[in-house]
Structure 1
């Protein structure tokens, strides 16, 4: 007996950046704009609709680069979207990331008063993201996209962040990034875990049934359907502090790599502890068909191989029975590195700004991004870890250590400092291509 028919996504109307994994290698840039003149803002939307690549297209209007366009709630208001329509968007989106700071663990050094201006403010209206295989192609693509916002004096560029792959193709802490990607029904893009059943499209694209059978979508339908929500966050990484922590808590170089793996859940090559529990396997780490195909609970329920409190087991518990249903909290996550690498072996900070531009794509800001951030990253109750925080990305405060399950006696590491500091970010709506045109054609 066959199951229900697979959903048919209108791929030609969905921005490619919603569903497609980041290319490898890559270069990327985030451009943020403020709309000072409504007519010019609408013209920006019209022009952007011609530059954005759809999920159905293998060739971009900008050559080898992809361009995505996001609009904040303040941006939609600046474009003249009626209040009756704005009120149908997710309430987290309407509040904005800065207002959600406490729930997200953005406190202390990560609190909005310390963010880079204008991030988190009402001046962030439009976010254009471009991705290309290398910096030269990226800059050429940005130049070709410039007509979308050039010669529009009522649209002001207020912030830019350039990103690119490090020579090692890792993030700054040294781990291979971009390993995991969920399968989405109807997208035509396979997930990175062959054991996963594809998720319903409504988990990531508005206007389609989700895992609960509900359909989310702002109104009117022409605006909400085929859109998605995006979260972007600038996260500064304290690389020297991370390296010193590993060194101070290890007995030697080999043990240092083991501690690094137990904290992340993967060796820095990308090989998971679930498949390589005793030693690194770089060949496995480089194989996209093998390195993410595993589960936890049947083989390792207590976490002797992959600690239950490590980073990757927190953000995606896979087959664990926690919080009702893990599938309701899955995310499409993308990271892009910014800033120069800290020289190999350096244990002191050189003052350079370096880190990760984090991006989340999904249809449910609350039960996807915010739930994972507050309940799984900044709390440990779901796996029996009390208030223990994620050892890599959590809002640690030097008051709690990290426990590695081990026979006959568990291993307890020293108190964790905060390795990642939030420098800013925002919640955006990614309109469909037809919605971009609709926004461009608004009239007062």
Structure 2
């Protein structure tokens, strides 16, 4: 009986933003808060608990607009969480993203010392995320969020980032984004790959069995950890001009540029996967949500003649490839949101404008999900037999990177890969359940 209860998702206690795919198009805003007074922080939790929508609404029209609340380790300390509870969090979370920089490839230009302030600092305590289909409907959500902290003397808003997803769904490099989402058992929300069976809820939400059949360790007491998730926030600047210049320098025609971009990503810019159309783009396929993620790799493309094994999408989610036996325990829920204006078409000179992506990677384990994928699959090529080769799009390349494109009779090897994506900051946070938010508000009692 206990196992049956554990397997049933308590949707009314899970934050909607954990499970709900974002609408298309949409507008979003991230607001960082610092807690200067413990009582004010607890009052903030109480007010926020009444505004955060639960996953009960995640499958209906009400789910298109929501506010989520995430708390950093320093935030829990500021709230007055008992030491026993603080010690029960995962070690990666306790250390924070900035302290894990070397493991994540955040060195050199990506180093925390170069991050946008206050990202990665001890001042980041609470992350409010508001999402809505458009800016007009987002503003009332933001106003409600502001009311939770505006008149609390011990709460300071220290950073804001406005984001968007255009009707084209394309990010700064020009690729359709937000295509692949796993199905979570018991959520009622289908995944985007019909060939991938739903993953156990415990891979993403604490308090439920994971793919190995065990209950992942969660923070203590149970009311604090149950129905919560870890989240890795990342602000990533995209050097679009540098990327375009690299494509042009390594191609002999605009058509070859597009093919090279597709080989590096694993998809054409329209979103059409190379696995289904390796020779030319098919925009209708790219826009078809029922088909654009319906594929595997190993059965008909083990060498990577269609989709190079070192391409971005194949590294980030190898699907049925040889690592797929363990691949399911490294799956994450990924939410990416663009910021900044697009660089005009054809421009290959940097205009100095900041543009890129705000990411949220959601899962039950920062270590075996986000950090593993980042360190072992994105920034190391050992699992594909190319240890020196990093992800050609988002890897921590330094101008000496290489990328192999399998082809007959001889492979093509690209040299001189630069760092097209630069980390501007980030933080590890925890998305508590709604009951946990109310419990945090009553810590003193």
| Closer, same or farther: CA 5–310 of 1 in aligned 2, 3 Å | farther
Is contact 2:318–2:324 with CA below 8 Å preserved after alignment?
Answer: no
Q: Which secondary structure state, in structure 2, belongs to the residue aligned with residue 236 of structure 1?
A: strand
| Closer, same or farther: CA 198–59 of 1 in aligned 2, 3 Å | closer
| Equivalent residue, structure 2, for 1:181 | 181
Q: For 1:213-228, what aligned pairs fall within 5 Å after superposition?
A: 213-216=213-216, 217-228=218-229
Is contact 1:402–1:415 with CA below 8 Å preserved after alignment?
Answer: no
Q: For 1:59-74, what aligned pairs fall within 5 Å after superposition?
A: 65-74=65-74
User: Cα offset for 1:400?
Assistant: 2.4
RMSD: 1.7
Runs of 4+ in 1 over 4 A off after TM superposition: 58-64
Is contact 1:163–1:339 with CA below 8 Å preserved after alignment?
Answer: yes
Structure 1 unpaired stretches of 5+: none
Question: Which of 310-319 and 80-89 deviates more?
Answer: 80-89
Q: Which secondary structure state, in structure 2, belongs to the residue aligned with residue 39 of structure 1?
A: helix
Is contact 1:223–1:435 with CA below 8 Å preserved after alignment?
Answer: yes
Whole-angstrom distance in 2 between the partners of 1:64 and 1:43: 27
Query: Does the alignment pair 1:96 with 2:96?
Result: yes
Whole-angstrom distance in 2 between the partners of 1:190 and 1:438: 32
Q: Output the TM-score relative to the length of structure 1.
A: 0.97
- Count, aligned residues: 441
User: Cα offset for 1:393?
Assistant: 0.4
Is contact 1:63–1:141 with CA below 8 Å preserved after alignment?
Answer: no
User: Cα offset for 1:8?
Assistant: 1.1
Whole-angstrom distance in 2 between the partners of 1:61 and 1:313: 33
User: Cα offset for 1:144?
Assistant: 2.4
Whole-angstrom distance in 1 between the partners of 2:310 and 2:169: 26
User: Cα offset for 1:294?
Assistant: 0.6
Is contact 2:25–2:167 with CA below 8 Å preserved after alignment?
Answer: no
Query: Does the alignment pair 1:320 with 2:325?
Result: no
Q: For 1:41-80, what aligned pairs fall within 5 Å after superposition?
A: 41-57=41-57, 65-80=65-80
1:328-375 residue CA offsets vs partner (Å, 9 max, x unmatched):
101111100000111111010111000000110000110000000000
Is contact 2:45–2:440 with CA below 8 Å preserved after alignment?
Answer: yes
Q: Output the TM-score relative to the length of structure 2.
A: 0.96
Whole-angstrom distance in 2 between the partners of 1:317 and 1:63: 30
Whole-angstrom distance in 2 between the partners of 1:169 and 1:372: 24
Query: Does the alignment pair 1:443 with 2:440?
Result: no
| Closer, same or farther: CA 58–360 of 1 in aligned 2, 3 Å | closer
| Closer, same or farther: CA 159–244 of 1 in aligned 2, 3 Å | same
Q: For 1:228-247, what aligned pairs fall within 5 Å after superposition?
A: 228-247=229-248
Whole-angstrom distance in 2 between the partners of 1:122 and 1:61: 37
Is contact 1:52–1:60 with CA below 8 Å preserved after alignment?
Answer: no
| Equivalent residue, structure 1, for 2:209 | 209
